[in-house]
């Protein structure tokens, strides 16, 4: 069986592919903020979560709590960290569903973490489009559970890992993440915890992303399948994504949204062509399949209202999360299981594309 080409991890490869400088180091001024603290990471076995674990480890916390529902992925990152050199850092592995609020409460009451980086999520756009109930259960209710308990037990800082697809969403995944952002923004006014959101673009080598797919298709001789020749996306590396999460957690005073400065959006067609050139293979075709349900040609990074108080640095944009009154999230969370797939999809998009939203806190 032929081994599939993996995504090269070097900055040189990423810079050649994206045609911009890779921002890999944000940690020089944040060591003291994480040093000797307890850091809990949900989705710790995923591609983003595991890199957050590695970067937090380098800052010498007292304890890293790895939370996830997949025992093999949690075992793998636990094994990796426990075999690193700093044996003073306690590594705790917890198999815990974020949809189980009682279990989350037991865990946080026992551990009393200082930081929570919430990376657990369903993120695949077509799959969530076909499974909106799972998107609500995991991305909205799961986030609400972890975020509320973090406030109840006095966590210092809670960081939600979100996506640019949450900006004016047109699909279930983006809408579910947008509602999660709204809940987190509301909780920032309810608890002493500093709540913030980090929005990612497309992460180059993460599971389910386009570059590993293209490399597999190149290995197979093509064609490379793209939905539209004009489609653009913002791209970042896994290391950049994790660095932004950790940096945001140490900078935030609550109620803000952090976005990496990723330069200009890149045509996915150009990414495909560069990968073909880098492969050295000839006659690899590109095939256009048409935009899928819920996809946009172009993504945004911040909502219009979030830009009003926006700060911009060389590394990132920092917008202010807007908490607006009044809407149907309470109805959604109470009744979503009784709605059909089609009705739930309509409700999600209706909620996230209205100007005024009220966030219920108890369901």
Rounded to whole angstroms, how far apart are CA atoms 13 and 15? 6
- Active-site positions read 165
CATH for the stretch 30-203+235-261+302-352: 3.40.50.720
**Within 13 Å, how many C-alpha atoms sit on residue 288's CB side?**
8
| Greatest Cα-to-Cα distance within the chain, rounded to the nearest angstrom | 59
11 pLDDT higher than 80: no
Measure the CA angle with vertex 217, ends 211 and 218; round to 5°: 90
- Which range is least confidently modeled, 90-99, 145-154, 157-166, 195-204? 195-204
Give the model's confidence band at 204: pLDDT under 50 very low, under 70 low, under 90 confident, else very high: confident
Q: Is the pLDDT of residue 280 over 60?
A: yes
Mean pLDDT of 181-203: 94
Distance CA 162, CA 171 (A): 14
Q: Lowest mean pLDDT: which of 27-41, 247-261, 273-287?
A: 27-41
Tell if the pTM clears 0.85, that is, is over it: yes
Q: What are the backbone angles phi and psi of residue 185, rounded to the nearest 5°? A: -60, -40
Give 51-69 pLDDT, tens digit per residue.
999 999 999 999 999 999 9
Output the average pLDDT for the chain. Answer: 88
Residue 3 has pLDDT above 60, yes or no: no
Ranking 145-149, 264-268, 291-295 by mean pLDDT, the lowest is: 291-295
Q: What is the pLDDT of residues 112-150, one digit of tens each?
A: 999 999 999 999 999 999 999 999 999 999 999 999 999
Residues near 280 by beta carbon (within 8 Å), at least 6 away in sequence: none
Tell me the two tokens of residue 29: 């001024």
> What pLDDT score does 220 carry?
92
User: Average pLDDT of 75-103?
Assistant: 95
State how far the Cα of 169 lies from the Cα of 117, in Å rounded to an integer.
Answer: 23
What is residue 309's predicted lDDT score, i.e. its pLDDT? 77
Per-domain residue ranges for the chain? 30-203+235-261+302-352
Angle at 241 between CA 95 and CA 39, to 5 degrees: 40
- State the virtual CA torsion across 208, 214, 218, 219 in degrees, nearest 10: -10
**How large is the average pLDDT for residues 204-216?**
82
What HEC string does the chain produce? CCCCCCCCCCHHHHHHHHCCCCCCCCCCCCHHHHCCCEEEEECCCCHHHHHHHHHHHCCCCCEEEEEECCHHHHHHHHHHHHCCCCCCCEEEEEECCCCCHHHHHHHHHHHCCCEEEECCCCCCHHHHHHCHHHHHHHHHHHHHHHHHHHHHCCCCEEEEEEEHHHCCCCCHHHHHHHHHHHHHHHHCCCCCCEEEEEEECEECCCCCCHHHHHHHHHHCCCCEEECCCCCEECEECHHHHHHHHHHHHHHCCCCEEEEECCCCCEEHHHHHHHHHHHHCCCCCCEEECCCCCCCCCCCCCCCCHHHCCCEECCCEEEEECCCCCCCCHHHHHHHHHHCCHHHHHHHHHHHHCCCCCCCCCCC
Per cent of the chain over pLDDT 90 is 66
Q: For residues 249 and 208, what is the distance between their CA atoms, to the nearest angstrom?
A: 26
- In this model, does residue 264 exceed pLDDT 80? yes
Phi and psi at 336, nearest 5°, equal: -60, -35
pLDDT at residue 70, rounded to an integer = 92
């Amino acid at each position: 069986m032929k081994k599939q080409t993996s995504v090269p991890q070097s900055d040189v490869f990423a810079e050649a592919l994206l045609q911009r400088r890779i921002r890999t180091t944000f940690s020089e001024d944040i060591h003291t903020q994480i040093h000797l603290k307890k850091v809990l990471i949900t989705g710790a076995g995923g591609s983003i979560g595991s890199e957050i674990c590695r970067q937090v480890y380098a800052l010498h916390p007292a304890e890293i709590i790895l939370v996830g529902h997949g025992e093999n992925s949690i075992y793998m990152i636990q094994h990796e960290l426990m075999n690193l050199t700093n044996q003073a850092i306690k590594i705790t592995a917890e198999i815990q569903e974020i949809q189980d609020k009682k279990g989350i409460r037991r865990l946080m009451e026992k551990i009393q973490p200082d930081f929570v980086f919430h990376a657990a999520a369903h993120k695949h756009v077509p799959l969530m489009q076909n499974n909106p109930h799972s998107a609500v259960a995991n991305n909205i209710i799961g986030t609400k559970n972890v975020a509320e308990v973090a406030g109840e037990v006095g966590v210092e800082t809670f960081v939600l890992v979100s996506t640019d697809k949450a900006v004016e969403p047109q699909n279930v995944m983006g809408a579910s993440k947008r509602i999660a952002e709204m809940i987190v923004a509301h909780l920032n006014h309810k608890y002493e915890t500093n709540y913030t959101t980090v929005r990612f673009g497309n992460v180059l080598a993460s599971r389910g992303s386009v570059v590993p797919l293209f490399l597999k298709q190149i290995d197979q001789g093509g064609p490379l399948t793209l939905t539209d020749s004009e489609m653009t996306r913002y791209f970042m590396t896994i290391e950049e994504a994790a660095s932004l999460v950790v940096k945001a957690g140490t900078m935030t005073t609550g109620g803000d949204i952090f976005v990496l400065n990723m330069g200009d959006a890149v045509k996915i067609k150009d990414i495909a062509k560069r990968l073909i050139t880098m492969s050295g293979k000839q006659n690899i075709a590109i095939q256009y399949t048409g935009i899928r349900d819920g996809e946009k040609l172009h993504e945004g990074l911040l909502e219009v209202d979030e830009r009003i108080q926006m700060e911009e640095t060389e590394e990132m944009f920092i917008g202010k999360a807007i908490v607006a009154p009044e809407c149907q999230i309470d109805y959604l969370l109470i009744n979503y299981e009784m709605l059909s797939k089609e009705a739930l999809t309509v409700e999600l998009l209706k909620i996230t594309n209205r100007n005024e939203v009220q966030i219920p806190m108890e369901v």
